[in-house]
Structure 1
Amino acid sequence: MQLLNKAVVTEHLNMQAAIDAIETLLHQQAAHPNWIKSPERLVISTFTDSDSHRSGSHLSMPATMYDGENEYTVVKLVTICPDNPSRDMPTTTAIVTVSNNDTGAILAVMDGIYITQVRTAALSGIATKYMAKADCQSVAVVGCGGMAYEQLHAVLTVCPEIKTVYLWNRNHEGAQQFKTRFARDYAQWNVDIQVCEALDDAVHDADVINVATRATEGLFSIAQIKSDVHINAVGAYQPSMKEISNDVIANSKMVIVDDLAGSHHEAGDLIQAHDSDDCTWVWDDLSGDLQALVTAAPKQESAKSDKGITLFKSVGAASFDAAVALYVAKQAQQQSLGSSVDW
C-alpha cells in the first residue's frame, strides 16, 4: 500500500491528467453504465452557526469502478470547516482510499484536499471547453478561497488564449493574496491579473466567470454580465446557499449540472430558482448533465457557437473523485510514489 501526502499528490497530479481522467470516465459511463457505481453521497451537517462556530459538513463518498480489466473501490471522506481560514488551515480536509475489489487489498491512501480541488476544477474546465465561446479573452474569479486557484488553472488550461483575469473577494486582502500566490505558483500562464474593488468591475467584461462562495443570495444580475458569458458555479453546495441569481439562471440558454441526482438535493441556486414564484426556470428546463454534454459530439459545436449565457453548476459526485484518485493510485503503484507500507 502506498501512503501519499499532499505534497506527493500535488507533484504527480496535473490538471490535464485530471481532465482526461474525468472525460474518460464520462465516456465509460455512457458506453457501460454498469461499470461505475456511485451512490449519492452522505452529507452530515456539523455544528450550527454561533459566535464560536460556523456550520460545516462531513461527507462520505464511495464509488466502485471497473476499468475494463479490474474493479476498484474508491472512498473519499471530507470535512468542511468554514472557520479554518482564520486558523491558517484549509477549509476542506479530506482523505481518499483506493482498493482492489478482487482481493480487497488497499492500494493507496492519499490526502484528498488536492484531489478535491483538482477534481472540482477539472469539471469546470471540461464544461468551459464544451460550453464557452471559442475566443474567450478574460475570466473573472468571484471568491478567492482554496477552490479558486485550481478553478482558474483549469479554465486557463482549456482556454490558453485568455489574457486577463479579474479577481473579486469579499475580503479585499484575500484577492491580493490570491494574485500573489497564483502569479508565483502558476507562472506558466502569462496573464494580467487585476484585483477589483467592486464585483461589477470583475464580471461585466468577463467571457468566463468562476464562482466559488458560500453566498446565500445571488451575487450579480443579468444586467451586470455579458450576453454570451459562460459561468462555472461550484459554491452554494447546500439548498440554503445561492450565488447565481434567478434572473441569470432563467436567461441562460443552457444550464448543465455535473450530477443529476446530487443537484436536485444540493444545488441551492437551482433549487431556489425552481421553488421561487418569481422565477420562470424549473427543473424541466435543465439542459442536461456533463456526461450528455461531453458524449453528444454533434451538439458540442452548437453549444459553443450559439449566442447566449451558459451556466455549469457543480455539486460533485464520488465517481469524479474516484476517476482522479484511481489515476494517482495507479501512478503510485507503477512508480513507487510516497511511502510503501505493509497492511
Structure 2
Amino acid sequence: MQLLNQAVVTEYLNMQAAIDAIEAMLHQQAAHPKWIKAPERLVIETFSEDDKHSSGSHLSMPATIYDGEKEYTAVKLVTICPDNPSRNMPTTTALITVSDNDTGAILAIMDGIYITQVRTAALSGIATKYMAKPDCQSVAVVGCGGMAYEQLHAVLTVRPEIKTVYLWNRSSEGAEQFKTRFERDYSQWSVDISICKDINDAICDADIINVATRATEGLFDSNHIKADVHINAVGAYQPLMKEISNEVIANSNMVVVDDLAGSRHEAGDLIQAHDSSDCAWTWDDLSGDLQALVTEKIVKSESGITLFKSVGAASFDAAVALYVAKQAKQKTFGAAVDW
C-alpha cells in the first residue's frame, strides 16, 4: 500500500491528467452505466452557529469503478471547516482510500485536499472546453479561496488564449494573496491579473466567470455581464446557499450540472430558482449533465449565457484518485507500507 501525502499528490497530479481521467470516466459511464457506481454523498452538518464556530459539514463519498479488467473502490472523507483560514489551515480537509475489490486490499491512502481542488477545477475546465466560446480572452474570478485557485488553472488549461484575469474577493487581502501565489506557482500562464474592488468591474468584460463562494444570495445580475459569457459556479453546495441570481439563471440559454441527482438536493442556486414563484426557470429547463455534454448528446448554444453548476460527486473523485493510485504503483512514489 502506498501512503501519499499532499506534497506527493501535488507533485504527481497535473490538471490535464485530471481532466483526461474524468472525461474518460464519463465516456465509460455512458457506454457501460453499470461499471461506475456512486451513491449520493452523505452530508452531516458540523459545529453550531455560535460566537466561536461557523457551521461546516462532513461528507462521506464512496464510489466503485470497473475499468474493464478490475473493479476498485474509492472513498473520500471530507470535513469543511469555514473557520480554518483564520488558523492558516485549508477550509476543506480530505482523505481518500483506494482499494482492489477482488481482494479488498487497500492500494493507496492519499491526502484528498489537492485532489478535491483539482477534481472540482477539472469539472469547470471540461465545462469551459465544451460550453465557452472558442475565442475567450478574459476570465473573472469571483471569490479567491482555495477552490478558485485551481479553477483558474483549469480554465487556462483548456483556454490558453486567455490574456486577462480579473479578481474579486470580499477581502482585498485575499485577492492580493491569490494573485501573488498564482503568479508564483503558475508562471507559465502569461496573463495580466487585475484586482477589482467592485464585483461588477471584475465581471463586466469577462468572457468566462468562475464563481466559488459561500454566498447566500445572488452576487450579480445579467445586465452586468456579457450576453455570451460562460459561468462556472462551484460554491453554494447546500440548498440554503446561493451565488448565482435567479435572474441570471432564468436568462441562461444553457444550464448544465455535473451530477443530476446531487444537484437536485445540493445546488442551492438552482433549487431556489426552481422554488421561487418569481423565477421562470425550473428543473424542466435544465439542459443536461456533464456526461451528456462530453458525449455530445447536448451541444453548446450558439449564443447567450451558459451556466455550469457543480456540486461534486464521488465518481469524479474516484476517477482522479484511481489515476493517482495506479501511477503510484507503477512509478513507486509515496511511502510503501505493509497493511
TM-score by length of structure 2 reads 0.99
Q: What is the number of residues matched between the two proteins?
A: 339
Amino acid at match of 1:321: D
Q: 1:332 aligns with which of 315, 325, 328?
A: 328
Whether 1:121 and 2:117 are equivalent positions in the alignment is no
The 5 A counterparts of 1:191-230 are 191-230=191-230
Mean Cα displacement is larger for which, 47-56 or 148-157?
A: 47-56
Amino acid at match of 1:143: G
Whether 1:130 and 2:126 are equivalent positions in the alignment is no
Whether 1:341 and 2:337 are equivalent positions in the alignment is yes
What CA distance in whole angstroms lies between the structure 1 residues aligned with 2:217 and 2:48? 19
Amino acid at match of 1:192: D
SS at match of 2:44: strand
What CA distance in whole angstroms lies between the structure 2 residues aligned with 1:149 and 1:79? 19
Q: Which residue of structure 2 lines up, in the alignment, with residue 25 of structure 1?
A: 25
Measured against aligned partners, the alpha-carbon deviations of 1:236-293 in whole angstroms (never above 9, x if no partner) come to 0000000000000000000000000000000000000000011000000000000001
Mean Cα displacement is larger for which, 249-258 or 45-54?
A: 45-54
Aligned residues: CA RMSD:
0.7
Amino acid at match of 2:258: D
Measured against aligned partners, the alpha-carbon deviations of 1:142-162 in whole angstroms (never above 9, x if no partner) come to 000000110000000000000
Q: Which residue of structure 1 lines up, in the alignment, with residue 306 of structure 2?
A: 310
SS at match of 1:311: strand
Q: Which residue of structure 2 lines up, in the alignment, with residue 148 of structure 1?
A: 148
- Give structure 1 stretches of 5+ with no counterpart: none
SS at match of 2:63: strand
Deviation at 1:216, TM superposition (A): 0.2
What CA distance in whole angstroms lies between the structure 2 residues aligned with 1:48 and 1:229? 38
The runs of at least 4 aligned residues of structure 1 exceeding 6 Å deviation read: none
Whether 1:67 and 2:67 are equivalent positions in the alignment is yes
The 5 A counterparts of 1:1-343 are 1-296=1-296, 299-300=298-299, 303=300, 306-343=302-339
Amino acid at match of 2:108: A
Identity %: 81
What CA distance in whole angstroms lies between the structure 1 residues aligned with 2:333 and 2:94? 19
Deviation at 1:48, TM superposition (A): 2.0
Measured against aligned partners, the alpha-carbon deviations of 1:270-329 in whole angstroms (never above 9, x if no partner) come to 0000000110000000000000011016x54xx16x110000000000000000000000
Amino acid at match of 1:276: S
SS at match of 1:34: helix
What CA distance in whole angstroms lies between the structure 1 residues aligned with 2:49 and 2:23? 38
What CA distance in whole angstroms lies between the structure 2 residues aligned with 1:47 and 1:176? 30
SS at match of 2:109: strand
Deviation at 1:92, TM superposition (A): 0.1
What CA distance in whole angstroms lies between the structure 2 residues aligned with 1:49 and 1:168? 27
Deviation at 1:57, TM superposition (A): 0.4
Amino acid at match of 2:154: A
Deviation at 1:12, TM superposition (A): 0.2
Measured against aligned partners, the alpha-carbon deviations of 1:41-91 in whole angstroms (never above 9, x if no partner) come to 000000122210000000000000000011000000000000000000000
- Give structure 2 stretches of 5+ with no counterpart: none
